[in-house]
Structure 1
Amino acid sequence: MCGIVCAFDLKQKSEDLRPQILEMSKTIRHRGPDWSGIYSDDKAIMAHERLAIVDPASGKQPLFSPDKKLVLAANGEIYNHRELRKQFEGKYDFQTQSDCEVILALYQEKGVDFVDEMNGIFGFAIYDTEKDEYFIARDHMGIIPLYIGWDQNGTFYVASELKALEGICTKIELFPPGHYMSSKDGEFVKWWNRDWRDYDNVKDNKTSIAKVKDALEAAVKRQLMSDVPYGVLLSGGLDSSVTSAIAKKYAQLRVESDDKQAAWYPQLHSFSVGLDGSPDLAAAQKVADHIGTVHHEIKFTIQEGLDAIKDVIYNIETYDITTIRSSTPMYLMARVIKSMGIKMVLSGEGADEIFGGYLYFHKAPNAKEFHEETVRKIDKLHMYDCLRANKSLAAWGIEGRVPFLDKEF
């Protein structure tokens, strides 16, 4: 997980705005404590706070195209970056092993019509120094947060969290999931469109448990892409138990080597959180014993939870009661996970929305309304469960990945 703060359409001198952008970027340094980078010229400023997960040694940002004409500040992971790189063999001189660098190659060759080729989680901005144009995009589900704003002078800002824009921008908007924006017209364009959203397109589909199993296993496996220690969040419920079991299955070999090399960190650690005596802790321990993870129980008291609420609200940037309640234990757990040197975790968000797992789905009057409710819930994930998982973990410099919301799955 990283953090970006960018300014375009500058209405003040770049040298005057640059210190301000650095201060704005500092407010989200928790998202990327490993390195700070900045690019600035007369017309744009792009700051980046890095959490190094893939290519820690050379993948610092902003990233540049070989001719230095394109500049990229990205927060996210491109899971299929190795496959995408193959089309540029002999055509593009990659400067790093960073998964995000492929975004520059795609944009240089295809313009704005490349986003759907990527399978990943992202919020990024590209700046073309030659044409003075910028391009901004957010992932299909809004797993990565992204906001835009304007100050009183009309300078345009892009940031990973609201707190970076607070006090600077007089107008702030959510950048919608599954959209991109080009400075050529300044319009939001929906790039993620799927026919399964319409019930009539799926009503005759046959259920295949085998296909679901294969697709989920593939999603978990590709999301194990990491050059640093990682773990799994395990509540003891079905969703996280399944993703944890699959992760354990593939943890011994390095995904980046096509399973030809031993994993750098083969011992899979699992984490659960709860009050003392919580049934979740007991269930998680049973699953951990069964699948063979190195399991860690994180216990907190009600008072510790209450004491953390103010910090939780500051970090997750919402007053939604249900989100705050569920974010509090996750926020406390993330601090302990960080103390153990883990920088990335898999989590089970999205399964209830996709499969209709909430109890009230049993009362759906018919299949059509069941389907339409799942689509409605999926559309709102970026404001609730995705926001909670991302920001609760990012508060302590941990990246959360969600295999159930994998674009291919």
Structure 2
Amino acid sequence: MCGIAGLVRYDGGTPSAVERVIAMRERQRHRGPDGDGLWHDAVAALAHNRLALLDTDGGSQPMRSADGRYVLVYNGEIYNHAALRRELAAHWPFRTRCDSEVVLAAYAAWGGACVHRFNGMFAFFVWDTERRRGFAARDRLGIKPFVYRQADGELLFASEAKAILAAMPGAPRADIGAVTEYLVAPFFSGVARPMFADMDYLAPGHALHVDQDGVRVDRWSVDPSPADTTMAWEDGVEAMRQHLARAVERTLVADAPVGLFLSGGLDSTLIGALAVRAGMSPQAFTIAFAGHDRYDYATSLIVGSDDQPFAEAAATALGLSRVDVMPSREDFGDSLRAVALQNDALPAWEQELAQHHLAQAAAGRVKAVMVGDAADETHFGYHFLLDPQATRDPLHVLQRLTGDPYLRPGLLAHPLEHHAAGYRQLAADAGHRWDTAEDRVLATQWLVRHRWLQRLLHNGDIHGMAHGVEARVPFGDVDLLDFTATVPVRHALRGGVEKALLREAARGWLPETIRQRRKSALPKDQGVGEALRRHAHATLARHGEPVAAVMDLPRLLRRAADPRPLDEHERAVFYRACALSHWATAHEVRFA
């Protein structure tokens, strides 16, 4: 995992300000503490920050082909790079052992079609010096980021939106629509477009082309195979076991230590169990908060139980060494501000604080960690999929998880209904209906897969790379994804149990108490409600102006001054209001 940045003058002008590309590289130096590089010609300039996990000595970027024609900047891991290397070796004089050179060789051999050969996570840009054209692509799930801006005859791109700010003139403007979505539907936000105006995300599974005619974007990923309605339960279980084992084996390949974020839930424990079966013993990291064993989880929206006893049991059963990461509540305000500055898509939920502390702790011990992201979103893992009321319409999911967003009066009438209608249309445009019970489950699952998952993956990347730690996603393995797409709903939710087929595939690999444990989100510190209220009161009183552009600041201040305990929805509102204030203040964001 690394950071990439670049500038292309597609109007034929000279990128005279190479310093702008260097400024982007420096803004995201945290993504690549092991080295950096710069290359430019008369039209393009490319920069790279490197986190070295393969071939530490030989994988520097920007990487140029032996004939000098192609120049690559790349971020990610191609897990089948060894097989591709063997296929390409007869036509390419490999000089390194790293997967970056495989990406470069694959593009030289197959052009943009190379992306169909990759199993892994990636965002890369290749510049063709001979034909003066560039090609960029992003993996099908969007695990690796790619942000770009086109204006005035030039293309800017980077791994993080805030890096592009370093190459833009003047203070940035907020994208009011994106910020509003963040407040109304945080778990679906920050992935359709950046929070900063005049930028775009290259969508997952899409490619970007730039030449003298300008910039165009198209989709390269294909729709998954339809569900196999004839699949026998036993056959599905066996196939799932085989795909899971291979997926984890692939993500273990590295020249540096690979750890594990272990919650004691089904997904992370399953990854740990399969890593052990593959002969590895990753160091595990678990977030722990004081007093969580005394909290009444029956009142929680998405955190269903305390991770600590389950993580301890999982590590013991698997023989893994474990690090308990225990943040100090005294540092809560500083941590919230740090997370707000790290996440240029704006922190969506308090659990991002846990990601921040986990990555910070892992950074001194490993360079990569395996995470359970994408399991719930591709294996029907959310409780509300089993609730006919919740799946009737996206509005019911928003009402359950968001509540009152405290929007500024007059900003948007009926905000939950407005965004729910948009999400329903997105699913309909993708071919989903809301007619039968199964239709509604599939439509809701599609939204979870295409919006919620992208936000989770963005957060995993941004908080890990803030500390120079790569997040590896075994459940994003291409072969596993292709198989999972064929699993019918009746198997995925068999017996009224979420992730039923995945759970059955895990039988015998991990303790039964963990295999049968219900979904529980990454925990947040239930004991910081009062600290959050005080932090919100102080923050909004000092730096409330940007918040007032989109939120009801007088109402927020009145509630922040009220010593009554915040309920869960109120906590979420104040967390996002504080994050918005810190983000806007630090980046000097304009809201007009």
Q: Percent identity?
A: 29
Query: Does the 8 Å contact 2:23/2:167 carry over to 1?
Result: no
Q: Which residue of 2 aligns with 1:313?
A: 340
- Residues 356 and 302 (structure 1), Cα distance of their counterparts in 2 relative to 1, 3 Å cut: farther
- Residues 238 and 306 (structure 1), Cα distance of their counterparts in 2 relative to 1, 3 Å cut: farther
TM-aligned CA deviation for residue 65 of structure 1: 1.1
Query: Does the 8 Å contact 2:461/2:471 carry over to 1?
Result: yes
The answer to whether residue 219 in structure 2 is matched with residue 190 in structure 1 is: yes
TM-aligned CA deviation for residue 316 of structure 1: 1.7
Which amino acid in 1 is paired with 2:198? K
Q: 1:249 aligns with which of 241, 261, 277?
A: 277
Q: Distance in 1 between matches of 2:219 and 2:73?
A: 21
1:73-112 Cα deviation digits (max 9, x unpaired): 0001110011111222221111211112112212112222
1:220-239 Cα deviation digits (max 9, x unpaired): 10111100011111011111
Q: Which residue of 2 aligns with 1:284?
A: 311
Query: Does the 8 Å contact 1:139/1:178 carry over to 2?
Result: yes
Query: Does the 8 Å contact 1:142/1:382 carry over to 2?
Result: no
Q: Which residue of 2 aligns with 1:373?
A: 444
Q: Which residue of 1 aligns with 2:289?
A: 275
Q: 1:210 aligns with which of 231, 238, 241?
A: 238
Q: After superposition, where does 1:4-403 map in structure 2 within 5 Å?
A: 4-9=4-9, 13-14=14-15, 16-151=16-151, 153-166=152-165, 168-169=167-168, 171-184=198-211, 186-196=215-225, 201-207=227-233, 208-252=236-280, 267-278=281-292, 279-322=306-349, 325-340=350-365, 342-364=366-388, 366-381=437-452, 383-403=454-474
Which amino acid in 2 is paired with 1:188? V
Structure 2: give runs of 5+ residues left out of the alignment. 169-196, 293-305, 389-435, 481-592
Q: Which residue of 2 aligns with 1:261?
A: none
Which amino acid in 2 is paired with 1:158? F
Q: Which residue of 2 aligns with 1:264?
A: none
- Residues 62 and 336 (structure 1), Cα distance of their counterparts in 2 relative to 1, 3 Å cut: same
Q: Distance in 1 between matches of 2:46 and 2:261?
A: 33
1:341-373 Cα deviation digits (max 9, x unpaired): x10000000111112211111114733332332
Q: Distance in 2 between matches of 1:225 and 1:290?
A: 24
Structure 1: give runs of 5+ residues left out of the alignment. 253-266
SS of residue paired to 2:30: helix
Query: Does the 8 Å contact 2:340/2:347 carry over to 1?
Result: no
Q: Distance in 1 between matches of 2:107 and 2:309?
A: 49
1:122-142 Cα deviation digits (max 9, x unpaired): 110000111111000001100
- Of the structure 1 ranges 95-104 and 296-305, higher mean CA displacement relative to structure 2 is found in 296-305
Structure 1 stretches of 4+ moved >6 Å: none
- Residues 281 and 362 (structure 1), Cα distance of their counterparts in 2 relative to 1, 3 Å cut: same
Which amino acid in 1 is paired with 2:72? L
Q: Distance in 1 between matches of 2:154 and 2:241?
A: 48
Q: Distance in 2 between matches of 1:78 and 1:172?
A: 27
Q: Which residue of 1 aligns with 2:533?
A: none
Please give the TM-score of this superposition, normalised by the length of structure 1.
Answer: 0.90
Q: Which residue of 2 aligns with 1:259?
A: none
- Residues 319 and 285 (structure 1), Cα distance of their counterparts in 2 relative to 1, 3 Å cut: same
Which amino acid in 2 is paired with 1:47? A
SS of residue paired to 1:195: coil
Query: Does the 8 Å contact 2:21/2:167 carry over to 1?
Result: no
Q: Distance in 2 between matches of 1:218 and 1:305?
A: 40
1:281-315 Cα deviation digits (max 9, x unpaired): 22111100000011111111344333211111211
Query: Does the 8 Å contact 2:76/2:144 carry over to 1?
Result: yes
- Of the structure 1 ranges 284-293 and 87-96, higher mean CA displacement relative to structure 2 is found in 87-96
Q: Distance in 1 between matches of 2:272 and 2:332?
A: 26
SS of residue paired to 1:317: coil
State the structure with more CA Rg: 2
1:55-81 Cα deviation digits (max 9, x unpaired): 111111111111011000000111001
1:183-211 Cα deviation digits (max 9, x unpaired): 25632221111333x5xx54444341111
Q: Distance in 1 between matches of 2:479 and 2:443?
A: 20
TM-aligned CA deviation for residue 382 of structure 1: 5.4
Q: Distance in 1 between matches of 2:60 and 2:279?
A: 26
Q: Distance in 2 between matches of 1:358 and 1:293?
A: 28
Which amino acid in 1 is paired with 2:18? R
